[in-house]
Amino acid sequence: MELEDQWWKGQLAADIYQALRYKELKLPSFKGQSPQLNLRRYFADLIAIVSNRFRLCPAARHLAVYLLDLFMDRYDVTVQQLHMVSLSCLLLASKFEEREDRVPKLETLNSLGCMISMNLVLTKQGLLHMELLLLETFQWNLYIPTAAHFIEYYLSMAVQEGDLHDGWPMTSFEKTKLYMAKYADYFLEVSLQ
Q: What is the pLDDT of residues 142-181, one digit of tens each?
A: 888 988 888 888 888 788 777 777 788 777 878 888 888 8
Q: Which helix (H) or strand (E) holds 190?
A: helix 173-190
Query: Is the model more confident about 36 or about 61?
Result: 61
Residue 187 three-state SS? helix
Share of the chain above pLDDT 70, in %: 93
- Amino acid 54: pLDDT: 92
In sign, the C-alpha dihedral spanning 71, 73, 75, 77 is positive
pLDDT of residue 56: 93
pLDDT of residue 153: 82
Rounded CA gap, 82 and 68, in Å?
Answer: 9
The mean pLDDT of the chain is 84
Residue 5: pLDDT band by 50, 70, 90 thresholds?
Answer: low
Amino acid 2: pLDDT: 43
Domain ranges of the chain: 28-144
| Res. 116: pLDDT tops 70 | no
What would the mean pLDDT of 36-45 be, rounded to a whole number? 89
Phi/psi at 169 (5° precision): -60, 150
Among 16-25, 57-66, 83-92, 117-126, the minimum mean pLDDT is found in 117-126
- What share of the chain has pLDDT > 90, as a percent? 28
- DSSP letter (8 states) at residue 35: T
Give the lowest-confidence range in 38-47, 117-126, 172-181.
117-126
Band the pLDDT of 62: cuts 50, 70, 90: very high
**51 pLDDT more than 50:** yes
Q: In the structure, what pLDDT confidence band is assigned to residue 1 with cuts at 50, 70 and 90?
A: very low
Are the C-beta atoms of residues 68 and 89 closer than 8 Å to each other? yes
Find, among 157, 129, 150, 137, the residue nearest to 25 by Cα. Answer: 150
Choose which CATH entry (3.40.50.300, 1.10.220.70, 1.10.472.10, 2.40.100.20) describes domain 28-144.
Answer: 1.10.472.10
